[in-house]
Chains A and B, each alone.
Chain A
């Protein structure tokens, strides 16, 4: 029986900018089961990172969770105090950021950095920290852990730094790892190593992964369930096979069509412009405003998710029609 580990419901996050309020995330609902990898895919500005930061309550100071619930293991994280959140961060939910260089302290030996979480959450006695660090380094594929232990981040390559971050993220054996574009700046061979490591941890410990990415190739390889984000909304969600076989929302189609895929030898890539955004099947319901634009105000128009086949949801933008469907 699948057990839900994280359940985000109707999350709305707004930002204050120059006295204007804008919604970065609007009515996002998302569920991750135990042992699952869930991918959140979208382009820059779609709200995918803000969604993940909300889970750990790490929003920038001008961001605010307006409404919604984030249930993790039965607790609503939004109601938790900062003290409680500190107990959860790194311990039960950990995060791997995109920019490995910016996430590491340049003045601290990497071996010591890895165990900061363990030290903070008092999970192992101090005397065992080094031993634990060496084990973690070995686990993420360093052949010479004791050498790497005493190196500084500047002495490591990008891929090695990203592996250090993974070692840090798994040190407290969290139940959920949030990986925000973990491989964007890495070469393909390293990308594969890094994603395989995360996948391996997930399998070994029956943990869950929220994988934030813009790469449908990565989604196809690693995800079980996919949520597509556009302009702060989830516009489509389904299991990974359905998303690729039967994408319904034109934006999902456009994203999948715009990946160069050596396998199907396409002569020309599709781009967003090649897809129309209105009146696409499903009884004349509209998907999105006529003109496609991230900032489009019309995204605030009433909209609703519609189950086009079992467990496959697509967002339409006309409330009345959806209601009349009953």
Chain B
């Protein structure tokens, strides 16, 4: 088996504000295999965005290490990071805010090439045009500015910009949250097509569990800065173990009125664990955060797994 494309070990990122230190990311370890999509779910404040940004080295972690393509990038300075920036790109949530309103689409797409000193003017233009085609926009978009496009088209431009440097790894942070459902479907399908065409690896961050299920091979659940459960998607959705994961899955509205979600009892959120959480392997590539005391409880629950999750 190949080495993972991204390896994160014991990664922590703290932010301090007037109320003290917030541990946005607290000892997270995971691998992302080449060509897979790893989905990250969790509610606001769970640290999923911080994880993505720390892997990209937009934030400097307090502890821990990040390897990309077998090279450690945790401590590299900006200059040494530059070649890696080409390999790791990000798609942002809000295409209304992440793209400059003053530049033409051509300029937006060529900017990364220019910064990385790739190609001459003509080659850059050629590249930008072919990228537009790839994401399903007409070549005439090249001359236009962002305000002339709809939300879905803007996100296509955001995707084109992320892909123009031919990266290996894409961090997509809530890429469809700002879009209408039918447009959302188009963008998700585009991301899937591009992944198989360009052999990309995705870290797909979303609060929408249905979208994550559609996109991902494996899914990681985050809560209060911790990684609390990680499993292949079918395993996770069929057999959630951690109480928080269970409550998350129970909250998904099911688009089928004949099977209204039976989980109407109040949702119990676990308190922040006092012990240093540790991922325990419970079989089927399924990891859950636990200590040795409550893993016994988890095992009992695992044996009662038919409890009406029909995913």
Q: Are A269 and B185 in contact, CB atoms less than 8 angstroms apart?
A: yes
The yes or no answer to A191 lying at the interface (CB within 8 A) is: yes
| Least distance between B155 CB and chain A CB atoms (Å) | 13
Interface residues on B, range: 35 or more
| Least distance between A269 CB and chain B CB atoms (Å) | 4
Work out how many contacts link A and B, with CB atoms closer than 8 A: 117
Q: Are A43 and B181 in contact, CB atoms less than 8 angstroms apart?
A: yes
B226-249 contact mask (Cβ, 8 Å, vs A): 1 or 0: 000000000001000000000110
Contacts of A273 in B (CB 8 A): 186
The yes or no answer to A263 lying at the interface (CB within 8 A) is: yes
B206-229 contact mask (Cβ, 8 Å, vs A): 1 or 0: 011111011000000000000000
Contacts of A71 in B (CB 8 A): none
Interface residues on A, range: 35 or more
Q: Choose among B43, B189, B207, B254 the residue that contacts A220 (Cβ–Cβ < 8 A).
A: B254
A239: nearest chain-B partner, CB-CB: B257
Binds B, one of A15-23, A81-89, A101-109, A251-259: A251-259
Contacts of B253 in A (CB 8 A): 191-192, 215, 217-218, 220-221
Known contacts A187-B43, A271-B186; is-contact A44 B248 (Cβ 8 Å): no
Contacts of A34 in B (CB 8 A): none
Main secondary structure of the interface of A (DSSP, over half): helix
| Least distance between A101 CB and chain B CB atoms (Å) | 13
Q: Are A188 and B254 in contact, CB atoms less than 8 angstroms apart?
A: no
| Least distance between B256 CB and chain A CB atoms (Å) | 6
Q: Are B214 and A263 in contact, CB atoms less than 8 angstroms apart?
A: no
Q: Choose among B44, B189, B207 the residue that contacts A271 (Cβ–Cβ < 8 A).
A: B189
| Least distance between B307 CB and chain A CB atoms (Å) | 16
For this complex, 19 residue pairs linking A to B, each with C-beta atoms less than 8 Å apart, are A187-B43, A188-B252, A189-B43, A190-B43, A191-B253, A216-B181, A221-B253, A221-B254, A221-B261, A259-B210, A260-B213, A262-B237, A262-B252, A263-B310, A266-B214, A269-B189, A271-B182, A271-B183, A273-B186
Task: Kindly list the 10 A-B residue pairs having the minimum CB-CB distance in the complex, ordered from nearest.
Answer: A217-B253, A260-B214, A258-B185, A187-B43, A269-B185, A262-B213, A43-B180, A271-B185, A188-B251, A192-B251
Q: Which B residues have a C-beta under 8 Å from some C-beta of A?
A: 43-44, 180-186, 188-189, 192, 207-211, 213-214, 237, 247-248, 250-261, 264, 266-267, 269, 310-311
